[in-house]
Chain A
Amino acid sequence: MIDRRTLAAVLAILLSGCDVDPAADVAAPAAVTIQAVPQAGGAKPAPESAPQAAPTPKNRPPLTEMAPQKPFIDPPLPPELLDDDDLIPLPSPTQPS
């Protein structure tokens, strides 16, 4: 016999199609104009920046700089949170715990 809570959860998943983003109500998309701008004579496009070297155990950034990507960017951790002091160091994010 299916528990009512389980059934409610399943129904909720099935009903997810009813979610309508309010942003979808915008009547018309904003117009975008692209205008060509003449460049200075003889100017060449800037060279692309050199690709970053693949991380190795030696050049890998500190663990604390491996910031997660989210809808926002955290400022750098304060210095005291980068210092373990007498604490036993934490495992690396890539190490099995």
Chain B
Amino acid sequence: MTHSLFKALRVALIAGLAMWAASAVPASAVPCASNCLQPGDHQITIWSSGLLRSYLVHVPEGYTGQEKVPLLLDLHGFSSYAADERKWSGQLRESDRRGFIAVWPDGVALSWNAYGCCFLGNALLVDDVAFLRSVIVDMKRRSNIDDSRVYVTGISNGGGMAQRMACEAADIVTAVVSISFPLNSNQCRPARPVSVTAIAATGDGTINYYGSSAPLGLPNALLGLPLGVQGARESLAAWKRLDGCSDKLTRIQLRTDVRLEEYRHCREGTRAGLVTITGGTHVLYSGYVGLGYTGDYVSPIDTATYMWDNIFRDGN
């Protein structure tokens, strides 16, 4: 009984917080209902699992609705939000350059309920998979999306959520790129093989490239904080198993401080890859200004450009 009361209370509180946060974004014209989104920027709100959730949309200038285009979900990190991700990830620029529709959803209380991370979404077990599934379905209804080119990316907590979408929404997601977050689960059971690439830096002081242990006997996850995480290389090995890849590993030194290791022979034409940046930091967006970042960092690769040149360039 007490648990039910607390559950009802927290649902109401989260709904209130979500609506309040959503109201902080300037409203735009009400988008269309069926395949009539116009080029430009939109904000859309939908109900998901009893919560009012919102997401930003950018429809590229050349979009007419006559031809199918790819859809990309770009997920912000913990303590960030949709408009911040839109500003820094580079996907807004790539949308106009490549002609795909870009979407930036907002997590609850600046977080996503990914595997072991992050507060508060993870602690309250927010059903973000259901929300992001709803976003994809809603966007397919409002615009002309190529079903074989639905992509999800994200950074940090958003990268973890992208990995979770690969596990739990592979039936509607084609490929995933996670920046600075591993799979971090052994419960991943994708409905079908799905291409997953991680971009990670050995100098990441937040989510350790080599994995980390919880300190002082604390649990590996505490109230949505990932105190112990999987290593980036173990994460790649996990996707090799999940996608049924052969042992043939392609290794490419892209720059002196950037290397690619990729399994290119996996079931149903999927790939599993790891781009490793030697050094670097946690947030790999050049010039990023945010919590602990002053805009000085310049990434050796532009992550958005890399994704569209190498991973999202076709239907795999």
Instruction: Point out residues on A near B: beta carbons under 8 Å.
Output: 3-5, 8-9, 11-13, 15-16, 18-20, 22, 24-25, 63-64, 66-72, 74-75, 77-81, 84-88, 90-91, 93, 97
Contact = CB atoms under 8 A, between A and B. Distances in A.
B285 interface: no
B249 A13 contact: no
A8 B220 contact: no
Interface stretch (B127-135, B159-167, B276-284): B276-284
B124 A19 contact: yes
Contacts of A64: 233
Given A13-B120, A20-B2, A87-B253, A66 B109 contact: no
A72 B115 CA distance: 12
A91 B202 contact: yes
A16 B119 CA distance: 9
Which are the 10 A-B pairs with shortest beta-carbon distances?
A: A68-B211, A12-B109, A97-B203, A4-B24, A69-B213, A72-B186, A93-B210, A97-B279, A80-B249, A74-B234
Nearest to A24: B3
A70 B211 contact: yes
Contact of B223 (A3, A16, A72): A16
Contacts of B79: 9
B270 interface: no
Given A9-B79, A15-B13, A20 B120 contact: no
Contacts, number: 132
Given A16-B119, A74-B237, A97-B202, A68 B208 contact: yes
B123 interface: yes
Given A5-B110, A80-B247, A88-B278, A18 B13 contact: yes
Contacts of A18: 6, 9-10, 13
A69 B220 contact: yes
A78 B238 CA distance: 10
B196 to A, nearest CB: 15
Interface of B: 2-3, 6-7, 9-10, 13, 17, 20-21, 23-24, 79, 81, 108-110, 116, 119-120, 123-124, 184-186, 201-203, 208-214, 219-221, 223, 228-231, 233-234, 236-238, 240, 247-249, 251, 253, 256, 259, 261, 276, 278-280
Nearest to B249: A80
Contacts of A97: 201-203, 278-280
Contacts of B238: 74
A19 B13 CA distance: 11
Nearest to B279: A97
Given A8-B21, A19-B223, A77 B124 contact: no
Contacts of B120: 12-13, 15-16
